[in-house]
Structure 1
Amino acid sequence: MPQRVRDLFFARYGQNLELNRLEVTGGSDAVNFVSRTARNNGVSARVKPVANVPPADAGCLTVACGGSVLETFVQAAPFYCGRDVYILEPKEYMTLAEKLWWATCIRSNKYRYNYGRQANRTFQDLPLPDAVPGWIYEEAERCVAGIASRLSSVASDLTNI
């Protein structure tokens, strides 16, 4: 039996903030603002922190329920959300590779919400594969090894300057 979104994640709506009521900034204390866009990992601006509104945690997934329906991203930094964005927090520990796998699986269901339908009541029952395939872990390990090799090469080049 396939898993459902609700089996893997705690799903909740984001803060439902309006970007036009926030102060956009490039300052060092800026917080990412995630909207329903399909670009830039869903981040449409960086804003000043909002008093008494804690940002969502880095590492959560964001899912657009309207607009670019089911655009799903893993957020690398704390963030605020605009309208119609779900925040998914894994029920159990997940690696980045696993989160990216599940984000891809969720996004692949966009076709279920054609013609302007929003992913609201039915979203948490969205069917997903039974498990993360083994090749995901192999590819993640290969990527990390490649990055480590490049960093070692760069560090070596820097010491020869």
Structure 2
Amino acid sequence: MWRWDRWGTVDYDGPAVGQAQVIRRLSGSMARGAALVGVATSLVCVAVAAVVMGTPGVYGAAFAGVVATGSALLTPVLMLRTTELDPAAVMLASFVGLATKAIILLIVLFTLGNDSGLHRMSLAVTLLVVFVATTAAEAWAGHKIKILIGSDPASPSA
């Protein structure tokens, strides 16, 4: 049985046992946390951009919010795809997800930053703020997962 906590991560009853179960719980919790925090942060950035810069600011912030929140889901997906591999492969997938997310955001900023319909500063600030917020949400989700190192306490050999 699981329940939602106030941060949007899942707290399962009992600890996760085994690497595959740990990675599934971790990637699910990271994805939920990043999506919820990304959407909330994006909405705040869009509201601020609307007040400060008007329509071009709204378009820039909204586009940046969608791209940054979507790219934040890359790390949990890569981790989920590597559940059956060695722990080193999971760590590599996590790092590759973070690096790819940063590269995607830089490409978006430099290719669309000069678009006349998007306010460059709204785009840049929203990309940065959502990137930091979703990365922090993923780290918080990793901190919340209960991981059992050793044998299952419910097994007869324990």
TM-score range, shorter chain: under 0.3
Which has the larger helix fraction? Answer: 2
Which has the larger strand fraction? Answer: 1
With normalisation by structure 1, the TM-score equals 0.26
With normalisation by structure 2, the TM-score equals 0.27
Higher relative contact order (CA 8 A, sep 6+): 2
